[in-house]
Amino acid sequence: MKRRLAALAAAAFLIALTGCGQVQDAAEKAVNNGASQVATATGGEVRKQACALVEDGLVSVKDKELLGGLVAGAETAGAPAEITTPLRQIADSGDQVPAESVKALQDACAK
């Protein structure tokens, strides 16, 4: 009787461990999917904001500051290099915003 009870307890324990592993896997998958969706949404919002700022082809000092602030968010969100590279170039530029970077960003926004 004791052997049978011990075997039953061991089986229940193994089932519980397997169930916990599956629950943990499901939870990790949900978190990763949620993080991916947030990153995608954030990347889309960053792109939208950057595109709105360069739409007219003129980048004011204020626009340059805003674009510079979007660089880290775009990179963190996994925005494509066609967005992040010109953003970084604009942010790192001195007094003169590179026209080719603005054009590259406009071209990326048009896609």
3-class SS letters over the chain:
CHHHHHHHHHHHHHHHHHHHHHHHHHHHHHHHHHHHHHHHHHHHHHHHHHHHHHCCCCCCHHHHHHHHHHHHHHHHCCCCHHHHHHHHHHHHCCCCCCHHHHHHHHHHHHC
Q: Give residue-wise pLDDT tens across range 68-111.
A: 999 988 888 888 999 999 999 999 998 889 999 999 999 999 98
Better-predicted residue by pLDDT, 74 or 6: 74
Residue 3, token pair as written in the block? 């052997």
What range does the domain containing 73 cover? Answer: 2-110
Residue 63, token pair as written in the block? 């626009």
Q: Give residue-wise pLDDT tens across range 19-65.
A: 555 545 544 554 444 444 444 546 688 889 999 999 999 999 999 99
pLDDT beyond 80 at 6: no
Q: What pLDDT was estimated at residue 32?
A: 46
**Average pLDDT score, the chain:** 76
Domain count, the chain: 1
Q: What pLDDT was estimated at residue 22?
A: 55
